[in-house]
């Protein structure tokens, strides 16, 4: 199956924004862990204070430090997300004139992606997984490095989109 997709700047930026939580999932995880730990310490400290235990004050102070750290980590994630989106937008604007179409060729052993600037062949066994998010098929090669290919339903139509999902389901475990 071969899918040719015309380049659309708005669609591209929407898809990049979809990828951010996956690319920076490690930062989001750290924020959530700090937040949960801080809230648990706050609750434990409050319970101890209600029971007239002075050690509850120490837990509340520690919880405030942990919650502040969670706040800082969340701000770092937001700044990183904004910087990433700005870099991707600038990169896209610089190359927009050169990009006309992208082609996904679904073969039994691999996926070939070609656009006006590059070409890559990826074995199905190299994929970490896939997800369908907001009518977009995310094919994850390396989530940590941000190597994720995206095909949107609005780019290729519902029938081809469903065929692509079925094909990827059979190849990526």
Domain extent for 83 = 17-95
With a CB cutoff of 8 Å and minimum separation 6, the contacts of 122 are 110, 111, 112, 113, 141
DSSP annotation string for 2-28? EEEEE--HHHHHHHHHHHHHHHTHHHH
* Mean pLDDT, residues 150-160: 92
Query: Alpha-carbon distance 135 to 18, whole Å?
Result: 11
Can you give the CATH number for the domain in which 130 is found? Answer: 2.30.29.30
> Residue 34 pLDDT > 90, yes or no?
yes
pLDDT confidence tier of residue 33, bands split at 50, 70 and 90: very high
Confidence at residue 63, expressed as pLDDT on a 0 to 100 scale: 96
Instruction: Indicate the SS3 state at residue 111.
Output: strand
* Mean pLDDT, residues 161-173: 91
Say if residue 28 is in the same domain as residue 89.
yes
Say if residue 46 is in the same domain as residue 70.
yes
* Mean pLDDT, residues 30-54: 94
Confidence at residue 47, expressed as pLDDT on a 0 to 100 scale: 95
pLDDT tens digit sequence for 136-153: 999 999 887 778 999 999
pLDDT tens digit sequence for 47-79: 999 998 888 999 999 999 999 999 999 999 999
What's the structural domain count of the chain? 2
Residue 115 C-alpha from the chain's centroid: 22
Confidence at residue 145, expressed as pLDDT on a 0 to 100 scale: 79
Say if residue 21 is in the same domain as residue 74.
yes
Say if residue 103 is in the same domain as residue 87.
no
Confidence at residue 59, expressed as pLDDT on a 0 to 100 scale: 94
Residue 75 C-alpha from the chain's centroid: 17
* Mean pLDDT, residues 37-52: 95
Say if residue 110 is in the same domain as residue 78.
no
Percent of the chain topping pLDDT 90: 65
């Amino acid at each position: 199956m071969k899918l040719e997709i015309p380049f659309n700047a708005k669609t591209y930026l929407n898809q990049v924004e979809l990828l951010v939580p996956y690319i920076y999932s490690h930062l989001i995880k750290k924020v959530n862990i700090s937040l949960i730990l801080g809230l648990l310490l706050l609750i434990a400290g409050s319970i101890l204070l209600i029971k007239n235990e002075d050690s509850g004050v120490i837990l509340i102070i520690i919880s405030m430090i942990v919650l502040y750290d969670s706040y800082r980590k969340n701000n770092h994630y937001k700044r990183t997300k904004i910087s990433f989106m700005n870099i991707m937008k600038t990169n896209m604007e610089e190359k927009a004139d050169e990009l006309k179409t992208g082609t996904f060729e679904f073969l039994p052993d691999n996926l070939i992606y070609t656009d006006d600037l590059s070409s890559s062949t990826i074995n199905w066994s190299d994929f970490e997984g896939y997800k369908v998010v907001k009518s977009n098929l995310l094919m994850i090669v390396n989530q940590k490095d941000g190597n994720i290919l995206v095909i949107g339903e609005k780019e290729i139509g519902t029938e081809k989109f469903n065929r692509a999902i079925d094909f990827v389901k059979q190849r990526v475990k």
